[in-house]
Amino acid sequence: MNIQTETIFSIGHGARRLEEFIALLKKYHIRYVIDVRSKPRSRFHPHFNREVLTLHLKEAGIRYVFMGEQLGGIPKDDQCYDEDGRVDYEKIKNKAFFHEGIERIKTAHSKNLKIACMCSELSPCDCHRSKLIGDYLQSLGIEMQHIDKKGDISSQNDVMKEVLGSNGELDLFSDNTKKLKSRKSYR
C-alpha cells in the first residue's frame, strides 16, 4: 500500500505485546506517538503505562507525546456528556481544549511528521480516534489511516462505514447520533 508522508495514523494498543506494537510503528515509519488516552495507563497491560511506554519508545527512536487532556475521549468538562453520561463527540468538537490539540496535530501534519494517535481500544471502530479525531480531521481535508487489529491499514471512510453502517454517512431517518458517542457512560 502506498502511504503518503502527510498521512496521520491511529493505533490502539489493546492487548498487544510491546514488541508487536513497536514493530507496527516501525512498519509504518511512525516517529511520534501522540497518546490520546484521557488516563495514560493500562491496568491490565502495564507496559502501556505512560512512563514505561515513553522509555521503550525512546529506545526505539520514537518520541512519545501525551495529549489526553486535549484529545482524550473522556474529557473533564461536564458539558461534553449527554443526559445518560455518555461522551458526545459533537460537543467536544466545539471546545477550546479540543481545538488546541487539533492545532498541534495540524502543525505536525504541515511539517510532514509521521505521527500516530494512540489509544487503548484495538479496533478503531470502538474508539474516539475515528469517531472524534479522525472525523474532525477529515472535515479539514486531513486523512487519518487506522492501523487495525491485524496491523493492516483501514481508511477513515472505511472505518466510518463500519461505525455508521451503509455509506458512512448519518442516516437522517434513524437515530445514528448514539454511534458518535462513547459506548459507555462515564458520569
| Gap between the Cα atoms of 8 and 19, Å rounded | 22
| Gap between the Cα atoms of 133 and 46, Å rounded | 25
Question: In degrees rounded to 5, what are phi and psi of residue 37?
Answer: -80, 135
Q: Are 118 and 12 in contact (CB under 8 A)?
A: yes
Closest CA to 147 of 181, 104, 118: 118
Secondary structure tally for the chain: helices H, strands E? 8, 8
Domain count, the chain: 1
132 in a domain, yes or no? yes
Least confident of 115-119, 137-141, 152-156, 169-173: 169-173
Q: State the pLDDT at residue 177.
A: 53
74 in a domain, yes or no? yes
What pLDDT band is residue 1 in, cutting at 50, 70 and 90?
very low
- CATH number, domain of 39, equals 3.90.190
Q: State the pLDDT at residue 182.
A: 77
1 in a domain, yes or no? no
Host domain of residue 156: 8-185
When computed from its CA atoms, the radius of gyration of the chain, rounded to whole angstroms, is 16
- Three cell numbers, residue 180: 458518535
pLDDT for 42-93, tens place per residue?
Answer: 999 999 999 999 999 999 999 999 999 999 999 999 999 999 999 999 999 9
| Gap between the Cα atoms of 111 and 122, Å rounded | 28
2 in a domain, yes or no? no
Q: Where are the alpha helices (DSSP H) in 6-155?
A: 18-27, 50-59, 68-71, 89-92, 96-110, 128, 135-139
| Gap between the Cα atoms of 84 and 19, Å rounded | 39
64 in a domain, yes or no? yes
Torsion (CA) 94, 68, 58, 150 in degrees, nearest 10: -80
Q: What is the pTM of this model?
A: 0.89
What's the mean per-residue pLDDT of the chain? 90
3 in a domain, yes or no? no
29 in a domain, yes or no? yes
